[in-house]
Amino acid sequence: MEVSEVDEIIFQHILRIALFPSLISATEKKQFAHLEAQNPFAFDFGYELSQRLLFLLPNSVPQPDYLSLYGLAALGHHNNPKVKLLMIADRQSIGATNQMIINQHIKGVTCSLVIDSNFVKKNFQKNSYDLVIVNSERPELIGNGFKISLAFTGILNDNQLKELETITKDYYFKNLIPELLVGNNVIFINNHTSDFFSVLISGLKKLIAEKAISKNEGQMILEREREGNQLLINGVSIPHVTIPNTSDNYRILAIVPKEKPILNNENVYLLLIVLVGQMQIDKSSIFSYLFHLLKNKNYQSIIDLRNRKDVIKLLTDI
């Protein structure tokens, strides 16, 4: 969606709520909470815009959650991370159609098609492809000998396409996170307070001292968290900020406190800081991955974080 279109629908929304204010239902609140955990930057936008509208129009009811939906619309369809996909099919026509669908609809995935599975077995080079899928009426025959991520017959339907999209994203982040949590990017702090911001400040100071982040980045993270609307998933706090530079990279840092701070009446066992480069087109997928990973995690695996390996296992054990 073009920015000018978003401007117009936000303007129309403001006019509507000024004339016909309405309340958000309990069901909608749950739906918004689910969306916010996976798209925090869009909801940061909605919150900030609502505060500015309240300043300009003190008697208005700007509804930040609804404004956040327009932020989601502005972000549009994201590019997914680069994943090399091999599809083994038993019919050229059906296989070629599915290859086209995958390459067109799952951005960032490069899908190669092979019809003769025997040829693949003879010439398959280890690590040539990240994932293997099978398009066949008899997947157990042509997929034998490979670790198959998805098997399906005929033309991919919408549900299968979404499942494949999730599989490719999970693969990407599962392999990316260990690369990010290296060196001084994982720290353990010996704090003696349960005040969340005191713990966050202590952790940021140590990360700055270890040169894992800059002083300016630490200040940006702290300011963002103090604005409110913090992201907390199953005992894991996720401070997040967009870094205004030319990078399109993700950066992740972990702070494990000795004494567990309290945020929104909930114990925090891990502070996972996510920094996203301003040029990164896809600012939401990493949060979607973390949300689905952490929301149903066994609490014990979150409580017992004794070293870097435990942190990485928590964030990659799908």
Tens digit of pLDDT for each residue in 86-108?
998 888 889 999 999 999 888 88
| DSSP bridge pairs for 187 | 255
The share of the chain scoring above pLDDT 90, in percent, equals 49
Residue 20 has pLDDT above 70, yes or no: no
pLDDT in the model for residue 318? 80
| Mean per-residue pLDDT, 147-173 | 93
For residue 292, what are its two tokens? 């689905």
Confidence at residue 157, expressed as pLDDT on a 0 to 100 scale: 94
Which of helix, strand or coil describes residue 199?
helix
What's the whole-number mean pLDDT along residues 273-301?
87
Local confidence band at 77 (pLDDT 50, 70, 90 cut-offs): very low
- Range scoring the smallest mean pLDDT among 56-60, 119-123, 239-243, 293-297: 119-123
> What are the structure tokens assigned to 197, written together?
């911001």
> Could you tell me what percentage of the chain is helix, strand and coil, using 3-state DSSP and rounding each to the nearest 5?
50, 20, 30
Q: Examine the pLDDT at 296 and tell me if it is beyond 50.
A: yes
> Can you give the pLDDT at residue 128?
79
Tokens of 157: 């339907």
What is the model's pLDDT at position 90?
85
Residue 64 above 90 pLDDT?
Answer: no
What is the model's pLDDT at position 214?
A: 93
pLDDT score at 1: 45
7-11, 54-58, 218-222: which range is least confident on average? 7-11
> Would you say 245 and 280 are in contact if contact means Cβ atoms under 8 Å apart?
no
The model's pTM: 0.74
Over residues 41-47, mean pLDDT: 69
Mean pLDDT value of segment 236-249? 82
Q: How far apart are CA 222 and CA 219, in angstroms?
A: 5
Q: Residue 308: what pLDDT?
A: 95
Q: Is the separation of the CB atoms in 14 and 62 below 8 Å?
A: yes
Residue 59 or 209, more confident: 209
Q: What is the DSSP letter of 146?
A: S
What is the DSSP code (8-state) at residue 227? T
